Structure 1
């Protein structure tokens, strides 16, 4: 089906830009100020603020619960908040667990109504050339590394790890297990210093769960622009918020946290999955997102 979404107020970098979108087969094939020469069905989005749908990190999904528990969790945590892609991880303690643990998470999410991507969480001791090559072979998009002392950072042969990561370059993402905030900040500074000095693909801060992932993080993981994007060639996934004076000058994070009551419509790959307070829950509608190339774009 071919049609036009006209007068869309697209929110990007805390600014609204009015554009019209040409849609073909549930993808955005062009963005322009208008398509007056096209005689197609048109949808006027002038009354709304349009954003891409969100991608959230969540590691507390009830994967071993009942279908009803998973359904309620997905609706409350994702669909009602305009999120159509989730990032989670499999916790790995030993190298030989990698494939089984990832497949276990995939199987548990087979009835997911939204798309999902799966990383791994490992202790620092598992960072080795062998394990990194295994992750590269399986195209694991994100490697979460848990540690609680700076000495562990100094024991890793980072030159070899950098070589093992290339050319897929899954980013390493820190998880600090220290309970003290002061020590946590110091460990993160040592993490960043090491990653920068060794030129390792990495995220320098812990990723906060249940809030929209930034474009920078999405790009490093390789989900952008495949997800959370309203650009030429992207899938047609977006949120429509009712406009109002109080949300005229706002960013996407603020919309997500403080104006969820104004979220009117969520569209996922061309299909409406939420209209007002009504949610269309389609088990198995979600797909496993296999990342081809992390950090594909330079942001």
Structure 2
């Protein structure tokens, strides 16, 4: 066991200074102060500490060369302090589910960071039998292409809700309409239906390559397994150089506007980025199995 002391952890725009007790690359205890003089210590006072990020990306070049995949993962994830990828595969037919998920899993077997996989479907695939298949394979999220919005009116939502229970993978809207006004109308209609029918869902489009907030990570069943620094979780964190400029900053601003101050990324207790150097360890990433979406009470 060792202690990470004077850790300035950023959460909800607030810095909290505490000590983390580490055993076997896991956080065993979080305390405000310590008096365990015999334990080895690591002082992080010069830094701001955050959990590593979870990012959504639908553009992973998983069918290309390893060199291209390595370059993409390094640039879009490792150098940004992300250690969990959330992606999805596109389906046109129900029978494609298993094959497409396994194809993506196989392609990402060389990933140095963890990943989880959802699916993207047209509304016509929202059927009780398909929802039961998603529950069987523990699909963490179902993205729905809303270019065919009229089909939503014909879906037997009561049966869908029963078929989803108790795993309840959230339905997430995807809108590819060019007109903002039309897109807003579609989202409004989607939200009305989801609330009326009491369907587990998100009411807004998820932003790609942007750290997923805790509320969405929880909906997906990733939190607190990922994206957190609390007792019992893995030791995965980022360190940013601290100064007055970023003492009062939120997590999103830190990610987008202060990336030049990110100096260390640790994934499950191992340093995978130090300064501008990235340790790309093929195959050290794992497929994240979601136990139950929204199981953690926020």
TM-score bin (small chain): over 0.9
Tell me the equivalent position of 1:254: 253
Tell me the equivalent position of 1:228: 227
Q: Does the 8 Å contact 2:169/2:220 carry over to 1?
A: yes
Distance in structure 1 (CA, Å) of the matches to 2:150 and 2:76: 37
Q: Does the 8 Å contact 1:29/1:233 carry over to 2?
A: yes
Residue 177 of structure 2 aligns to a residue whose secondary structure is coil
Tell me the equivalent position of 2:90: 91
- TM-score normalised to structure 1 length: 0.98
Tell me the equivalent position of 1:64: 63
Q: Does the 8 Å contact 1:149/1:187 carry over to 2?
A: no
CA offsets, 1:20-54, max 9 Å, x none? 00001111111001221352110000000000000
CA offsets, 1:198-252, max 9 Å, x none? 1111011111100100111100000100000001101000000000111111011
Q: Does the 8 Å contact 2:122/2:148 carry over to 1?
A: no
CA offsets, 1:249-291, max 9 Å, x none? 1011100000000001000000000011010000001000010
Q: Which moved more, 1:179-188 or 1:80-89?
A: 179-188
Per-residue deviation at 1:114? Answer: 0.5
Tell me the equivalent position of 1:135: 134
Tell me the equivalent position of 1:103: 102
Structure 2, unpaired ranges of 5+? none
Distance in structure 1 (CA, Å) of the matches to 2:139 and 2:160: 15
Residue 161 of structure 1 aligns to a residue whose secondary structure is helix
The alignment status of 1:123 with 2:112, answered yes or no, reads no
Distance in structure 2 (CA, Å) of the matches to 1:126 and 1:39: 60
Tell me the equivalent position of 2:296: 297
Tell me the equivalent position of 2:266: 267
Aligned residue runs from structure 1 range 28-39, under 5 A: 28-39=27-38
Residue 89 of structure 2 aligns to a residue whose secondary structure is strand
The alignment status of 1:154 with 2:153, answered yes or no, reads yes
Tell me the equivalent position of 1:75: 74
Query: 4+ residue stretches of structure 1 with deviation over 3 A?
Result: none
Q: Does the 8 Å contact 1:27/1:236 carry over to 2?
A: yes
Aligned residue runs from structure 1 range 207-218, under 5 A: 207-218=206-217
Distance in structure 1 (CA, Å) of the matches to 2:247 and 2:106: 42
Per-residue deviation at 1:177? Answer: 2.6
Q: Does the 8 Å contact 2:123/2:148 carry over to 1?
A: no
- TM-score normalised to structure 2 length: 0.99
Per-residue deviation at 1:151? Answer: 2.0
The alignment status of 1:175 with 2:169, answered yes or no, reads no
Q: Which moved more, 1:151-160 or 1:211-220?
A: 151-160
Aligned residue runs from structure 1 range 231-246, under 5 A: 231-246=230-245
Distance in structure 2 (CA, Å) of the matches to 1:243 and 1:177: 40
Tell me the equivalent position of 2:199: 200
